[in-house]
Structure 1
Amino acid sequence: MKRRPQETDRGEDDLAGLASALLGLRSPDEVRAFLEDLCTPAELEAMTDRWRVVPLLYGNVPYREIHDRTQVSVTTIGRVARTLERGAGGYAIAYQRQVDEGDKNTSEAGKTGSASPSNSD
């Protein structure tokens, strides 16, 4: 995405403001509504595609199999894999929090005797 030239580069401040806005949201539904307002359908699809492949990459699923399962391009899969290796660590934090939350929900369900739905992916 091309950035507009500015007299002073406020990019870091702007990104911090966006991050702060996301942090202020209190539920997945609020985040979804914000993202739907903020992004175009194509941007949402691209972000969703990237996020869908993260657990599969952590599961060491081969790129071709990820493509076959998700229909996400092998190029995008490779880009996500490179970002997992050399990026800022955001994917790893979000993924680990989801895993931890899933573990927490599973153990809480076991304590109450209720079963939680399993997800094979």
Structure 2
Amino acid sequence: MQIDKLKGRELDDLFDGILSLETKEDCYKFFDDICTSNELVALKQRFQVAKLIDEGKTYSKVQEKTGASSATVSRVKRCLDYGSEGYRTVLDRIK
């Protein structure tokens, strides 16, 4: 896991903060404060890429619908196939 290098109290604090959010409005407010617009766009795009790949869409269709680069689509696909199951956990929970 690439995140192992970052583990520690500070990251735990961040995750505890995220887990304390109760509504979408809480999320909008928190992420508006903590992320730049570009960071939010990147996160949103990666998640949409993951959803479309999970739906069986082709790389070209995913790129067309999201505007993501082929590198981003490949990276997300690699995470879905060989990653830490983070995308899979969330995608399964929102179905």
Q: TM-score, normalised by structure 1?
A: 0.69
Counterpart code for 2:93:
R
Could you say what the CA RMSD is over the residues aligned between the two structures, in angstroms? 1.6
CA deviations on 1:82-108 (whole Å, 9 max, x unpaired) are 111222211111111110xxxxxxxxx
1:1-121 to 2 correspondences below 5 Å? 11-99=7-95
Larger radius of gyration: 1
Cα 1:92/1:33, change in 2 over 3 Å? same
**Equivalent pairs, count:** 91
Task: Determine which structure has greater relative contact order: mean sequence separation of CA pairs < 8 Å that are 6+ residues apart, divided by chain length.
Answer: 2
Q: Which runs of 5+ in 1 are unaligned?
A: 1-8, 100-121
* Aligned sequence identity (%): 29
Q: TM-score, normalised by structure 2?
A: 0.87
